[in-house]
Amino acid sequence: MNEIAILPVTGLGTFLDFCKVPRLIYEGAKGFAPPLDAERWTLHGAKLNPHFKLVDYQAWLARKDGRLAGRIYAQVYKDGSIPNGASRFQFGSLDSVEDERVVDALLAAAESWLKERGARTIHGPFSPSVNAECGMLVDGFTAVPMIFMPWNPPYLPALVERRGYRKARDLISYRYDVTAADRADQPGIIARPEWRDRLKIRNIDLKAIKTEAALIVDIFNDAWSENWGFVPFTYDEFMSTADALKYVMPPDGGFIVELDGAAQAFGIVLPNLHEITADFDGRLFPFGLPRLIARIRDHRFQSGRLCLFGVRRALHRKAAGGAVILAFIEECRRRSSRYASMEHVEFGWVLEDNLGMRRPIELFGARIDKVHRIYEKDLSAPSAVTRAR
């Protein structure tokens, strides 16, 4: 007994199993909220997510005594889409039961596949990209679970590190608790005489989403281009999720900050859908969809997440840039306070060394709520497992 088998994901059946592994093995864990299987299909499906045009990839399942026990994914970026400062050889979507042999076997499969393609250094987890879900949770395991943020149990980072993986970067997520002062909607920086005519804030026009998408992608790629691990966010990637935004984003959930008539920053705040899908057990069909639509309309959300944002790079470390960042954060607070039931908003994630964004967020009273870690490993060196023997 205790037989462990690692199987490649090769068809529809194994793909569906791959998508539902976390909700099966983490069921009941405090801090974990099962994502909807249908949403996972759009994230991991090569025909549904344009990201997979940029990479060569392979995924695996782990079975222990015949039962699903884990999963992992590996990818190699093609020429023309090389991550900034990070390896083009990456792993992601690592989930496992608490068994070191399972974790070792999954990582060994990914490492072997990547080494066959020339890898010397591996980074991850990217699930599947830096523009989607990334990092392994190392702090904040019991914090309020948020949409589009990965969760793993505390034992998983320890088992990964025992195999020779070390920290590359930490990704910081903040919790901002909505206060009575926020609900008072006091005038902010855009009301000051020196900025009143220069700073404007408008809603993202969902009826003209194709035009708005081009602007959002342009700002995002400019804002993040110098960050470690950056890979340009493509228009097709954004549009693959744009239709869904129409259903889950409130009319004033997305906004653009303009300076002197030019768009310089944007933010998209989404309600935390985990609040209304917790009892779905990951299953949307056949009866969940009508319930989901009704709940989105009627539910009084207590939490939300700033899930996509950016400020143009030319404004970084400039007075005008500081004004745009302050207007951006004030607008996040203001829009959150418009919902009487909203208690907190998660800002994240932000790279640990991105002090230009971290300091203003902290200045407004947000506190670190979760830390996700990107790991790296030198595949040309003897493994930690080998050295221990």
pLDDT digits (tens, 9 = 90+) for 192-225: 888 888 999 999 988 888 899 999 999 999 999 9
Give the residue ranges of DSSP H helices in the chain: 12-25, 37-44, 100-115, 155-162, 180-183, 193-196, 209-224, 235-248, 274-277, 288-298, 319-337, 355-363, 384-388
Same domain flag for 215 and 358: yes
Pair 366, 381 in one domain: no
Q: Is the dihedral of CA 357, 362, 365, 371 positive or negative?
A: positive
User: Do 18 and 43 lie in a common domain?
Assistant: yes
Instruction: State the average pLDDT for the chain.
Output: 89
pLDDT of residue 388: 37
- Residue 387: its pLDDT value, please? 39
121 and 239 part of one domain: no
Q: How far apart are CA 118 and CA 380, in angstroms?
A: 10
Question: Same domain for 56 and 200?
Answer: no
In the predicted model, is pLDDT for residue 381 greater than 80?
Answer: no
If you compute the radius of gyration of the chain from its CA atoms, what whole number of angstroms results? 21
Residue 270: per-residue pLDDT: 87
- Which residues have CB under 8 Å from 335's CB, separation 6+? 252, 253, 255, 269
Question: What is the distance between the alpha carbons of residues 316 and 264, in angstroms, rounded to a whole number?
Answer: 11
26 vs 56: CA distance, rounded Å: 29
pLDDT tens string 7-47? 999 999 999 999 999 999 999 999 999 998 988 999 999 99
How many CA atoms does the CB half-sphere of 74 hold within 13 Å? 20
Q: Residue 323 is part of a domain; what is its CATH number?
A: 3.40.630.30
Instruction: Give dist(CA 102, CA 5) in Å, integer.
Output: 9
Token pair for residue 265? 């920053």
Q: Are residues 366 and 318 in the same domain?
A: yes
Other beta carbons within 10 Å of 79: 6
- Return the minimum-mean-pLDDT range out of 87-91, 187-191, 272-276: 187-191
Domain containing 310 equals: 177-371
Q: Flag whether pLDDT at 143 surpasses 90.
A: yes
Yes or no: say if 230 and 224 are a contact pair by the CB < 8 Å rule. yes
Q: Could you check whether the bond before residue 157 is cis, i.e. omega within 30 degrees of 0? A: no
Q: Do 183 and 304 lie in a common domain? A: yes
Number of domains the chain contains: 2
Judgement on whether residues 146 and 181 belong to the same structural domain of the protein = no
Environment class of 232 (CB within 10 Å of its CB; exposed 0-12, middle 13-18, buried 19+): middle
Q: Is 74:55 a contact under the CB 8 Å cutoff?
A: no
Query: Looking at the structure, do residues 159 and 231 belong to the same domain, yes or no?
Result: no
382 and 307, same domain (yes or no): no
Query: Same structural domain for residues 34 and 154?
Result: yes
Residues forming a β-bridge with 263: 258
